[in-house]
Structure 1
Amino acid sequence: MSLDTTPVTQPRTDGFQPASLASFIDLLGADFNAAADLLVYAANSRDGLRTCEESVLWGRSLVSDEARVLSSAEGSQSNPVISPDGATVAFLQEAAGCSQLCVLDLASGKVLALTDFERGVAAVAPQFSPDGRTIVFAGCAEPKRDPAKPYRVTRPVWRRDGMGLVEDVKADLYLVAVGGGEPSRLTSHDGIVSDPQFSPDGTSVLYGCFAEPGSAEFAIRVAALPGGGEGFEVMRGEYLVYPPATAWLPDGRVLHTTAWQVSRPLDLVIFDPVTGTATNRGIEIAGQISGYLQPAMNGALLEPRLLVDDAGENCLLYVQNGGRLDTCAISLSGPVTVTTLAPDEASTVPLALRGSQLLLARTSFTAPLDLYLFDTSEAGIGGGVEVTADASTPRRLTGLNAAGLPPAPFTVRPLAFEGEDGTAVEGWFLEPTGGAGPYPTVLNIHGGPFAGHGQMFSLENYLFAAAGLGVLCINFRGSSGYGEAFAQPLWADWAHHDAGDLLAGIDAAVAEGWVDGDRIGSFGLSGGGYLTSWLLTHSDRFKAGVAECPVTDWNGMVGSDIPQVIARWMGSDPGTGPEAMALYAKVAPATYAADCTTPMLIIVHEADLRCPAGQGDVLYNALSMAGREVEMLRLPNMFHTGVYDVADLSGRIIRAEAVLEWLTSRLLSTNDVS
């Protein structure tokens, strides 16, 4: 027996810590007016310095840069939308446990509630008619269901993570006058509607719908207003989590993305209601339209959307190119051209377009989401607003965390290496500032798995690096943004290329002298929790692991809210005999629990429907029965990504403390007895 006398490295106590979450401010919605002189946004702070557990409506003058809270009401305010004349803001106001549609008169500051539904209205942004007189919104005027009473399930799509039971959140479209009055019902689908948009002439509304009784499909439809002609269906397809993004063209045609098929590339489609024909643009690009980089912060602003310029010549959207989201303009006629707007080493997502003025959300490894304004006319896109002197440079509009967030506690080191079969793989090492390598390191594994790491802010990365830990991020096989061939090998072959690429990435980072190969931990949520569980049951390279919302039992995942996606990932339909289920057990970490030699913390979100709480229970019980070192942290009432929501600040801090303590206590000490 020998005693290692290397000094103990203690976690730092300065800089960003779990308690710092109480001063981190998230953006949750934004809009600006046609004159481009007023910005309205929702943020979880009432004083601009500390967080609160609800979102609050703020207004910022784009002339004086003065910002103020627009309404002092209690309860969350969300989904702000400015009227065409710029005089009114429509938004959702929480009261008595549900949200109602309200309008705020910007001149007087008076708020008028337009609905009083017992169920409240749906968490869908309301929309003004082109003349500004009417608002379309989503809601349900039926009485609430008594949650204490039994209920019968008959819908194929009957629940969704973050929403709960469809029966409790179902909604149709309603119209209401801006000045008040009785809302009138526009649709009767008894499902969930999304993204309503008035037509340019104001006679109809474009929207999406899914979870209708008896249907496992989504549909894009147009509903005609009373006296406005006939409604029609644009398209329908199998519902696989993400419905297509949609937009009107100025001439009354409809633009939408193709249906999401997990790792398949998306295209743009133009539907002509006059002829009933749909025409694909045939876009072939290296990146992924509406790809996904995993944010470890609130990502409400990062929803895919399509914006169309006034002439109908270009669609503005974001494209994931490897580890970055680029705002691009894609031509809608003639040869396909793709123009990247405001390119830099950051991710940008388009939010709203007024003439040539484009509102962007921007983030990076080192910067949380903030709002920027960009003049697209410098790139030959749009028109109608005079070009400013420095139009080619996006103008920063907000700096919500400029005062409270310390400088990034790490330097970003790009990592390029060959995966387990020689395929080129991209990654990054976040080197802690003020130290010297090789560093004890956390392998931070992204979820999805069709997602990625890259230019996207992460609270966890800040916490790890501030404590003196290096962070290794790898876009393994199965990640988005690198083409279908890069993502497809994961299907029906889980824990092969993905786990192999992660281990090869560790080897490459150790060879660079960045990572201490004897002090590596693994952390991941969702798909990252799955791979953490798999690596810890198949490798002895790790000293600690945190698996949050993990997939540990693929049989049980058929009981999640995405069973159709699970069947595709496995390449085998469940319930068709033992042979069909063999792979489900073969690639389940719980199958190999007795082989785990690494201390594991399992974090369970008890309201999670995407990776249900039972997934963590299975692995915890199996590890306990095998006599392995394991603990479990349970977060009540937390849905899948609820740790990045604005509610339950104390729970989010407790969770961050537990993750950091578990990893630092095992990685920063080298006093090992052997």
Structure 2
Amino acid sequence: MAIAATDLFKLVSLSYPIATNRGFFVQENRISEEDNTYYQRIYLVNRRGQKTTYGFDQKHDRHPQVSPDQQWLAFLSQAADKTTQVFLQRIDGGGAQQFSNEKEGVTNFGWQPDSKALLLQTTVGAKPQISESDAKKPQPVTVTRAPYKLNGVGLLKENVTYELRIQQRRQKTSHLIMKRQHDFDLGAISPDGQKIAFAAERLPDDPNDFSQATYLFDLTSQKITMVNEHLPQAALSPEAFSADGQQLLLVGSDNHLPNVSQDHLWHYDLTSHELQDVADDVDFDIPGYVNSDFQQDLSGKVADFVTADYYLARGFDHGKMSLYAGGPDERLTPLIDGRRHVTDFALTPDHRGVVFTESTMTIPSRLVYFDLASEEEQVLYDPNRQVTRHLGLVTPQTFNFQRDGFEIEGWYFPPQQASSSHPAILYVHGGPAVGYGYTFFHEMQYLAAKGYGVICPNPRGGLGYGEAFTAAVIKHYGQGDYEDCLATVDEALKLDTTIDPQRLFVTGGSYGGFMTNWIVTHTHRFKAAVTQRSISNWLSMYGTSDIGYYFTPWELEGKWTGDLSDVQGLWDFSPLAHIDHARTPTLVMHSENDERCPIGQGEEFYIGLKLHGVETKFMRFPKSNHDLSRSGLPNLRVARLQAIVDWFDAHQAQPQMAKGE
């Protein structure tokens, strides 16, 4: 049996692992074909892999947190009024009950160390109620800030108040402890419950400032202090307090290079006020980003203390997302390593072990226990094993080569059914500051099951190979990165001599869509192309993308801020400027509500191809944004996969026609 597009509905991913004395909590994320949506539920798994269901409705139960005394499970779920609220459930038995009752719902929460109260993060004015009569008379929307929209959200509300509240476990209402006029991220709570670490934009009213500060809020004095005051340009987020409350781990970048500076692990001493980059002797990102279409609703946890001078952190290096161990004076080294993607983790209450969720190229997601003393692992729960054993998943081959002083790494998925001659697809990732790696990728397995070899390059500009590698694409889009992609195809042809060089195809999304557009306007090597959520014109991208006004100068000019004064430079980097060279049959795919690479980018490229006589179609996805392939409406995810294969299948035997023929 071969994997199908609809097997998305049979597979699940795991996240938010928690270790307790009773077992291991984990969130299971699944996709409902019938309801065309995503659901979550919470299990308690014991050492024998037996599981007990917890939660409220087994559909919207997510982000579990166990109370420090291990008596209560708190989690988010959907209340009767459709708002997101905190629910509580006794771990030793009994049903879940709604705890919070915030008018606009709860966005984040955390336990106080005494287990008697919870902190609740909420808003005022972000979700105004609209009456039926008001809905019939929509009003104009006025914006005053430069960042005024966000992919997946739409227009950002102004005049919103962001609140942190506290509610005693035995009380019905909360009370306000902090109010801010700009959004913040609730981070860590000190062991004595008196200090709250949170992250927020340092200068939120300055559209050209991209720093993010970590602050400490003292509940007793009500004083807020900035942790990284001597490093104001940095972008840092708090991760965890040490057991004595005197140390704080943070993750982020010093921002010395726009959109290139690596994220590192930082250590802050609350007594000496010293902030130290404890990963300045390694050349990889913490945590980095592994390109995938499968993992859902990960906690995003990066680091934690084992002891005051020993901690763990996730890091991404050469395609592996590993769990590293180190200390203030000890270099970070791999602890949980290997060809895999550690997606989430948590320490056991006694700090003698780690429970983590992982993915590999043939294992979608599973729960594993790691003993810190013996370094032995035990698989606790593999929810997909019975499904994947019948799908004939392929194990990709890894290869690398040298170009211009850089190591270029790639992965090759051979067709599931071997043949003496078969087509292959060059698939360029987005970003560009991400990377392919050792994680499950449903789409690549599906394409391989359809008879295609799939070539996945990590060209310069991506993550996992050092900061210089990431920086190499800045001001050089469509140059060395383009050559890296084509060279990866050459290497794959050497690796698998059954690839038919006359049946090569190309696709990619976001930056990969830019590269697909660049490829079809600079070479005729490929039989057909599918460009997804692409960039075709940097001049229009600059002012219409939710990140365009700063991402464009970051990437194309290597500076923090820019303008449209260098029209020729931006145009030269635009695939649309070279459209007269295109002749590759190209399917243009774009989401109607994409705010990252707005649909106008696809519209411009489609019209350019059409008016230049190139075979093309335009496929528009309603109610979809930039994340369609990862978290979009499930039926449209399936339709997208099938359309890609249909386009390539239709052009396998068809001769490529030159314009005018």
**Above 0.5 in TM-score?**
yes
Per-residue CA shift, 1:400-456, capped at 9, x if unaligned? 22222344432322222233x364311121112331354310111111101111201
Whether 1:167 and 2:139 are equivalent positions in the alignment is no
Whether 1:467 and 2:432 are equivalent positions in the alignment is no
Partner of 2:193: 202
Whether 1:291 and 2:277 are equivalent positions in the alignment is no
Helix, strand or coil for the counterpart of 1:561? coil
Partner of 2:61: 77
Residue 542 (structure 1) shift: 0.7
**392, 410, 416: which one pairs with 2:394?**
410
> Given residue 540 of structure 2, which amino acid in structure 1 is its aligned partner?
G
> Given residue 535 of structure 1, which amino acid in structure 2 is its aligned partner?
I
Residue 545 (structure 1) shift: 1.2
> Given residue 162 of structure 1, which amino acid in structure 2 is its aligned partner?
G
Per-residue CA shift, 1:463-519, capped at 9, x if unaligned? 100111101111111111111222212001101011100111111222331532111
Residue 229 (structure 1) shift: 5.8
Aligned residues of 1:17 and 1:463 also touching (Cα < 8 A): yes
Comparing 454-463 and 59-68, the one that deviates more: 59-68
Whether 1:176 and 2:167 are equivalent positions in the alignment is yes
Residue 183 (structure 1) shift: 1.7
Whether 1:651 and 2:636 are equivalent positions in the alignment is yes
Partner of 1:135: 118
Aligned residues of 2:42 and 2:62 also touching (Cα < 8 A): no
| CA distance, structure 1, for counterparts of residue 621 and residue 203 of structure 2 | 31
> Given residue 478 of structure 1, which amino acid in structure 2 is its aligned partner?
G
**494, 516, 538: which one pairs with 1:532?**
516
Partner of 1:91: 75
Residue 365 (structure 1) shift: 1.6
**218, 222, 235: which one pairs with 2:212?**
218
> Given residue 223 of structure 2, which amino acid in structure 1 is its aligned partner?
E
| CA distance, structure 2, for counterparts of residue 672 and residue 154 of structure 1 | 50
| CA distance, structure 2, for counterparts of residue 271 and residue 314 of structure 1 | 14
In structure 2, the CA distance between the partners of 1:102 and 1:338, relative to structure 1 (3 Å rule), is: same
Aligned residues of 1:136 and 1:196 also touching (Cα < 8 A): no
- Count of aligned pairs: 634
Partner of 1:25: 12
| CA distance, structure 2, for counterparts of residue 648 and residue 474 of structure 1 | 28
**54, 59, 65: which one pairs with 2:49?**
65
| CA distance, structure 2, for counterparts of residue 509 and residue 144 of structure 1 | 51
Residue 574 (structure 1) shift: 7.0
Whether 1:359 and 2:355 are equivalent positions in the alignment is yes
Residue 200 (structure 1) shift: 1.4
**238, 250, 262: which one pairs with 2:243?**
250
> Given residue 458 of structure 2, which amino acid in structure 1 is its aligned partner?
N
**377, 384, 409: which one pairs with 1:426?**
409
Residue 672 (structure 1) shift: 8.2
| CA distance, structure 1, for counterparts of residue 149 and residue 515 of structure 2 | 26
Whether 1:440 and 2:440 are equivalent positions in the alignment is no
**76, 86, 101: which one pairs with 1:116?**
101
- Percent identity over the alignment is 22
Residue 589 (structure 1) shift: 1.2
Partner of 2:609: 623
TM-score norm. by structure 1 comes to: 0.87
| CA distance, structure 2, for counterparts of residue 128 and residue 437 of structure 1 | 60
Residue 337 (structure 1) shift: 2.2
TM-score norm. by structure 2 comes to: 0.89
Where in structure 2 are the equivalents of 1:324-335 lying within 5 Å?
324-332=320-328, 334=329
> Given residue 5 of structure 2, which amino acid in structure 1 is its aligned partner?
P
Q: Which runs of 4+ in 1 moved over 6 A?
A: 49-52, 236-240, 670-674
> Given residue 76 of structure 2, which amino acid in structure 1 is its aligned partner?
L
| CA distance, structure 1, for counterparts of residue 290 and residue 479 of structure 2 | 22
Where in structure 2 are the equivalents of 1:539-550 lying within 5 Å?
539-550=523-534
Aligned residues of 1:247 and 1:256 also touching (Cα < 8 A): yes
**342, 345, 360: which one pairs with 1:348?**
342
Whether 1:193 and 2:184 are equivalent positions in the alignment is yes
Per-residue CA shift, 1:354-403, capped at 9, x if unaligned? 2122122211222212221111233xxxxxxxxxxxxx232222212222
| CA distance, structure 1, for counterparts of residue 70 and residue 243 of structure 2 | 21
Residue 570 (structure 1) shift: 1.3
In structure 2, the CA distance between the partners of 1:655 and 1:109, relative to structure 1 (3 Å rule), is: farther
Residue 176 (structure 1) shift: 1.6
| CA distance, structure 2, for counterparts of residue 672 and residue 214 of structure 1 | 52
> Any unmatched runs of 5+ in structure 2?
none
Residue 586 (structure 1) shift: 0.8
In structure 2, the CA distance between the partners of 1:120 and 1:642, relative to structure 1 (3 Å rule), is: farther
Aligned residues of 1:326 and 1:347 also touching (Cα < 8 A): yes
> Given residue 131 of structure 1, which amino acid in structure 2 is its aligned partner?
D
> Given residue 338 of structure 1, which amino acid in structure 2 is its aligned partner?
L
| CA distance, structure 1, for counterparts of residue 51 and residue 500 of structure 2 | 47
In structure 2, the CA distance between the partners of 1:403 and 1:254, relative to structure 1 (3 Å rule), is: same
Helix, strand or coil for the counterpart of 1:615? helix
Residue 531 (structure 1) shift: 0.8
Where in structure 2 are the equivalents of 1:214-613 lying within 5 Å?
214-215=205-206, 216=209, 217-225=211-219, 227=220, 230-235=223-228, 244-251=237-244, 252-259=246-253, 261-281=258-278, 283-301=280-298, 303=300, 305-309=302-306, 311-332=307-328, 334=329, 336-354=330-348, 355-378=351-374, 392-405=375-388, 406-419=390-403, 421=404, 423-512=406-495, 513-558=497-542, 559-562=544-547, 563-571=549-557, 576=563, 578=565, 580-613=566-599
Partner of 2:140: 150
In structure 2, the CA distance between the partners of 1:164 and 1:193, relative to structure 1 (3 Å rule), is: farther
| CA distance, structure 2, for counterparts of residue 438 and residue 286 of structure 1 | 41
> Given residue 20 of structure 1, which amino acid in structure 2 is its aligned partner?
D
Residue 117 (structure 1) shift: 3.1
Helix, strand or coil for the counterpart of 2:472? helix
Residue 140 (structure 1) shift: 0.9
Residue 328 (structure 1) shift: 0.4
Helix, strand or coil for the counterpart of 1:618? helix
Residue 22 (structure 1) shift: 2.2
In structure 2, the CA distance between the partners of 1:452 and 1:637, relative to structure 1 (3 Å rule), is: same
Aligned residues of 1:607 and 1:613 also touching (Cα < 8 A): yes
